[in-house]
C-alpha cells in the first residue's frame, strides 16, 4: 500500500481502519524499515529521552552562548517564578521555561532533538513534557504524542522543505507549533479530526512568519520565538479540543504556506539581509560580533 502524502487521505485511512493517526504512521514506518512496531517506539523513546535531558540541562544552566546573545533567559524566568510572580498557571510556566531551556541548550551547542529543526527545537519538547508532567501522562502516551508530532511534520515536508532558508520561519517554528498542538491534542484523547484541527488552527495563524536572524545566528529572535510559539501551540490544542474547527482544511493551509513561502523575499529567508537583522541594533550586534571573532 502506498503511503498517503496528504492529511485528507491519512485521515480517511485511519477512519477506515478505526485507528489513531499515530498508529497508522507507526505501522508505515515499521513496514518501510522492515522492523517491528515496538522498535519504532523504542527509537522514538530515545528521542523523547534526549528532549527531556536537554530540558533538564537547560534548566540548570546559566551559561551564555559563544555570541553572548542568549543563555540566561530561562534562569531569569525561573527566578521570577520562585518569587511567586507569574501571569501564567504552573503548567504554562513549565511550558515557557522548558522551551527556553531547550533552545538555549541549542545555542550553547548542547545536544537537542531537532523537531523539526534545531532553530525550533524548544517547542515540541516543552509542550509534550510539561503537559505530561502536569496531567500525569505516562511514557507510552508521550511516545504516541511524539509520533503524532512527527507525522504532522513529515506530511508537511512532502510539500515544502522545513527550513527558514526556503520558506521563512513559518516552516520552522510555525510547523513546530502545529506539531506540538497535534501532539497535545493526542495526549488529551482527541479524535483524529480534532488532532488535525489543532495543527490547522495553529499553522494558519503563523503564515508569513519570516526568518530574520541577527548576525545569522539562531538566537535573536529565535530563542524567544520558541517560547511564544510553545504557548501558541497549547492554544491551538485547546481550541480544537473544544470542538472548534479550522474553516480551511489543513492540506489547503499547507499549500497556502508554500505559496506564501515562495512569495517571501529571499532577504527574509535566513539571509539576515532584512527585518530584525538590519535594524540599527541588529547591525551593531553583527559588527561587534564580527570584530570579536576576527580578533579573539
Digit-coded pLDDT (tens) for 11-26:
999 999 999 999 999 9
pLDDT at 2: 65
pLDDT at 193 over 60: yes
Mean pLDDT over the full length of the chain: 97
Judge whether 131 and 186 are in contact, CB under 8 Å. no
pLDDT at 1: 53
Q: What is the mean pLDDT of residues 177-204?
A: 98
Which of 202, 204, 212 minimizes the C-alpha distance to 168?
212
Longest dimension (CA), the chain: 64
* DSSP code for 277: G
pLDDT tens per residue, range 232-276:
999 999 999 999 999 999 999 999 999 999 999 999 999 999 999
Question: How many CB atoms within 10 Å of residue 74?
Answer: 28
pLDDT at 90: 96
Helix, strand or coil, per DSSP, at residue 172: coil
Q: What is the mean pLDDT of residues 118-144?
A: 98
Split at pLDDT 50, 70, 90, the class of 295 is: confident
Q: What is the mean pLDDT of residues 163-169?
A: 97
Judge whether 217 and 161 are in contact, CB under 8 Å. no
pLDDT at 195: 98
Which of 88, 125, 129, 115 minimizes the C-alpha distance to 172?
115
Split at pLDDT 50, 70, 90, the class of 105 is: very high
Which of 186, 221, 224, 217 minimizes the C-alpha distance to 107?
217
pLDDT at 4: 85
Model pTM? 0.97
| Alpha-carbon dihedral sign for residues 96, 98, 101, 105 | negative
CA distance 120 to 171: 10
Split at pLDDT 50, 70, 90, the class of 202 is: very high
Amino acid at each position: 500500500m502506498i503511503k498517503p502524502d496528504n492529511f485528507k487521505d491519512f485521515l480517511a485511512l485511519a477512519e477506515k481502519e478505526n485507528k489513531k493517526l499515530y498508529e497508522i504512521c507507526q505501522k508505515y514506518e515499521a513496514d518501510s524499515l522492515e522492523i517491528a512496531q515496538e522498535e519504532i517506539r523504542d527509537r522514538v523513546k530515545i528521542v523523547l529521552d534526549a528532549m527531556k535531558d536537554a530540558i533538564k540541562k537547560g534548566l540548570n544552566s546559566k551559561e551564555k552562548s559563544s555570541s553572548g546573545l542568549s543563555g540566561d533567559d530561562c534562569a531569569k524566568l525561573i527566578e521570577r517564578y520562585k518569587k511567586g510572580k507569574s501571569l501564567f498557571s504552573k503548567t504554562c510556566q513549565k511550558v515557557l521555561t522548558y522551551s527556553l531551556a531547550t533552545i538555549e541548550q541549542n545555542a550553547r551547542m548542547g545536544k537537542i532533538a531537532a523537531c523539526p529543526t534545531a532553530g525550533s527545537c524548544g517547542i515540541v519538547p516543552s509542550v509534550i513534557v510539561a503537559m505530561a508532567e502536569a496531567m500525569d501522562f505516562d511514557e507510552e502516551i508521550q511516545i504516541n504524542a511524539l509520533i503524532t508530532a512527527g507525522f504532522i511534520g513529515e506530511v508537511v515536508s512532502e510539500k515544502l522543505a522545513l527550513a527558514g532558508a526556503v520558506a521563512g520561519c513559518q516552516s520552522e517554528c510555525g510547523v513546530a507549533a502545529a506539531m506540538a498542538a497535534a501532539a497535545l491534542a493526542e495526549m488529551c484523547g482527541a479524535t483524529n479530526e480534532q488532532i488535525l484541527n489543532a495543527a490547522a488552527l495553529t499553522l494558519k495563524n503563523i503564515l508569513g512568519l519570516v526568518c530574520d536572524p541577527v548576525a545569522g545566528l539562531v538566537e535573536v529572535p529565535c530563542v524567544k520565538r520558541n517560547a511564544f510559539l510553545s504557548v501558541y501551540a497549547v492554544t491551538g490544542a485547546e481550541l480544537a479540543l473544544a470542538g472548534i474547527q479550522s474553516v480551511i482544511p489543513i492540506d489547503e493551509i499547507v499549500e497556502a504556506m508554500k505559496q506564501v513561502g515562495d512569495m517571501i523575499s529571499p532577504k527574509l529567508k535566513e539571509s539576515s539581509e532584512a527585518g530584525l537583522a538590519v535594524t540599527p541594533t541588529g547591525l551593531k550586534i553583527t559588527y561587534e560580533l564580527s570584530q570579536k571573532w576576527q580578533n579573539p
